[in-house]
Amino acid sequence: VLCKGINGLDKVVLRGTRGSSAEVYLYGGHLTSWKNDHGEELLFLSSKATFKPPKAIRGGIPICFPQFGSHGSLEQHGFARNRFWVIDNDPPPFPTNISNKAFVDLILKPSEEDMKIWPYSFEYRLRIALGPGGDLLLTSRIRNTNSDWKPFSFTFAYHTYFSVSDISEVRVEGLETLDYLDNLQNKGRFTEQGDALTFESEVDKIYLSTPTKIAILDHEKKRTFVLRKDGLPDAVVWNPWDKKAKAMTDFGDDEYKHMLCVEAAAVEKPIILKPGEEWKGRLELSTVPSSYCSGQ
Ligand code: BG6
C-alpha cells in the first residue's frame, strides 16, 4: 500500500500474514519500521529524525551507496539515502521456492545532476520483502548500465539501526576474533578479542570478512536478532554514545542507549562492475527468543 508518511513523503506499507509489517519511504529507499507479529517495533528511529530532504532519515535502514562513510570523494555514505526512489509496478517474480512474501521493488537511477558527481550510469533495484514468519529480506541488485567501456566501483552498507532495550545489556556474537578497522583510531588493522562484543563506550568499527551470520542478543527483551548476509563480507558496528549523540541535531541525547547499528557491508574491498554486470547483496533479518540462540 502506498500512502503519505511524515511531512507528506510517500511510503509503502507491507503487511505480513500474521500481523508483522514494514514501512519504507521512497525518499532514500529507506526502511523506517519493521514490526513483528505482536506489533513490536524492531528498528530504532530517532524521535528527532527530520524527514526533510536532503537530510537522511536518522534510524531504520539507510542505504549507503555508492560510498560507505567518508572513504571517497562523495558526501558521507553516498547519495542513495537522500534521493527519491520509484516503485516498480511490474517487478520480476520471486523464485518459486520463496513465494508467499509481501514485497516491493524500488528503483534508483542516477539523474543528470547525480552523474556530475558520480559519472556512471546504473540501475539499482532494491527488493524489500516480509516473509510469513515476519522476517525481513532486503535484496539489492546493482547493474552497470554504462553503454561504453566504463567500469565503476562502489562501497555499500545496509546501515541497520536495531532497537535495543539497554545498550549495556546487549551482546553481539559472530564478530569475535576478527580483524577490524577502527574509525576512532588511526589507520591500521586491529584484532577483536575472543569474547562476544559488549558495549560501554562509543564504537565505530568495520569488521572484515565476517561469517554470514551475526546475532545481537538483547537480554532485557529476551530477544535475539539474527542477521544473515550474502555478498556483503564486512560488518560495521556503530554506537555514538553520549558525546557524539549530543552533537547530532537529529538524535536525542539519551537515545544511544536504545540503539545499535550492525551494518552488513562491503567496505574494505570495493565492488567493481563492468558494463552489463550486476552485483547482488542480500540481508535477512529475523528474531528468535534469546535462550534459543545463546551460545550457538
Ligand atoms: C556509521 C559510520 O556507519 O555511520 C560512522 O561508521 C558514522 O562513522 C555513522 O558516524 C552515522 O553517519 P551519518 O552520516 O548518518 O551521521
Q: Which residues line ligand 1 at a C-beta cut-off of 6 Å? A: 56, 69, 76-77, 159, 183, 204, 236, 238, 263
Q: Residue 61 Cα, ligand 1 centroid: separation in angstroms?
A: 12
Q: Please check whether residue 86 is in contact with residue 105, taking contact to mean a CB–CB distance below 8 angstroms.
A: no
Read off the C-alpha cell for 111.
539523474
Measure CA 62 to chain center.
6
Task: Assess whether pLDDT exceeds 70 at residue 294.
Answer: no
Domain residue limits at 191: 2-290
Residue located via cell numbers 507479529: 37
In this predicted complex, what is the ipTM? 0.98
Q: Residue 209 Cα, ligand 1 centroid: separation in angstroms?
A: 20
Q: Please check whether residue 22 is in contact with residue 128, taking contact to mean a CB–CB distance below 8 angstroms.
A: yes
- Number of domains the chain is built from: 1
Domain assignment present for residue 296? The answer is no
Read off the C-alpha cell for 64.
549507503
Of 23, 255, 263, 268, the catalytic one is: 263
> Of all protein residues, whose CA lies closest to atom 6 belonging to ligand 1?
204
In which band, very low, low, confident or very high, does the pLDDT at 46 lie, cut at 50, 70 and 90?
very high
To test the pocket of ligand 1, the residue of 205, 238, 256, 268 to mutate (highest count of ligand atoms within 8 Å of its CB) is: 238
User: Each residue of 63-81: pLDDT tens digit?
Assistant: 999 999 998 999 999 999 9
291 backbone dihedrals φ, ψ, rounded to 5°: -60, -30
Domain assignment present for residue 223? The answer is yes
Residue located via cell numbers 547493474: 143
Task: Assess whether pLDDT exceeds 70 at residue 286.
Answer: yes
| Amino acid present at 159 | H
Domain assignment present for residue 295? The answer is no
Q: What is the mean pLDDT of the chain?
A: 95
Query: Percentage of the chain surpassing pLDDT 70?
Result: 96
**Residue 244 CA: which ligand 1 atom is closest?**
10
Q: CA 262 to CA 192: how far, in whole Å?
A: 16
| 222: region left, alpha or beta (phi > 0 left; psi from -120 to 50 alpha) | left
What was the pLDDT predicted at 86? 98
159 is catalytic: yes
219 is catalytic: no
Task: Assess whether pLDDT exceeds 70 at residue 17.
Answer: yes
Task: Assess whether pLDDT exceeds 70 at residue 215.
Answer: yes
CATH at residue 53: 2.70.98.10
206-230 burial: b if 16+ Cβ within 10 Å, else e: bbbebeeebbbbbeebebbbbbbbe
Considering the entire predicted model, what is its pTM? 0.96
What's the average model confidence in pLDDT over 143-151? 94
Q: Residue 101 Cα, ligand 1 centroid: separation in angstroms?
A: 31
Q: CA 27 to CA 106: how far, in whole Å?
A: 10
**Residue 69 CA: which ligand 1 atom is closest?**
2
Residue 45 class from Cβ within 10 Å (0-12 exposed, 13-18 middle, 19+ buried)? buried
Q: Is 7 helix (H, G, I), strand (E, B) or coil?
A: helix
Residue 179's DSSP bridge partners are 191
User: Each residue of 83-121: pLDDT tens digit?
Assistant: 999 999 999 987 755 556 899 999 999 999 999 999 999
Q: CA 215 to CA 262: how far, in whole Å?
A: 10
**Residue 62 CA: which ligand 1 atom is closest?**
15
Residue located via cell numbers 530532504: 53
CB neighbours (10 Å) of residue 204? 18
Residues in CB range of 120: below 8 A, 6 or more apart = 66, 110, 144, 146, 150, 152
Task: Assess whether pLDDT exceeds 50 at residue 296.
Answer: no
Domain assignment present for residue 74? The answer is yes
In which band, very low, low, confident or very high, does the pLDDT at 295 lie, cut at 50, 70 and 90?
very low
What was the pLDDT predicted at 94? 75
In which band, very low, low, confident or very high, does the pLDDT at 180 lie, cut at 50, 70 and 90?
very high
In which band, very low, low, confident or very high, does the pLDDT at 194 lie, cut at 50, 70 and 90?
confident
**Residue 204 CA: which ligand 1 atom is closest?**
6
Of 159, 255, 268, 284, the catalytic one is: 159
Q: Residue 156 Cα, ligand 1 centroid: separation in angstroms?
A: 13
What's the average model confidence in pLDDT over 18-47? 97
* Enclosing H/E stretch for 238: strand 234-239
User: Each residue of 121-140: pLDDT tens digit?
Assistant: 999 999 999 998 899 999 99
CB neighbours (10 Å) of residue 49? 19
What's the average model confidence in pLDDT over 236-262? 98
Task: Assess whether pLDDT exceeds 60 at residue 293.
Answer: no
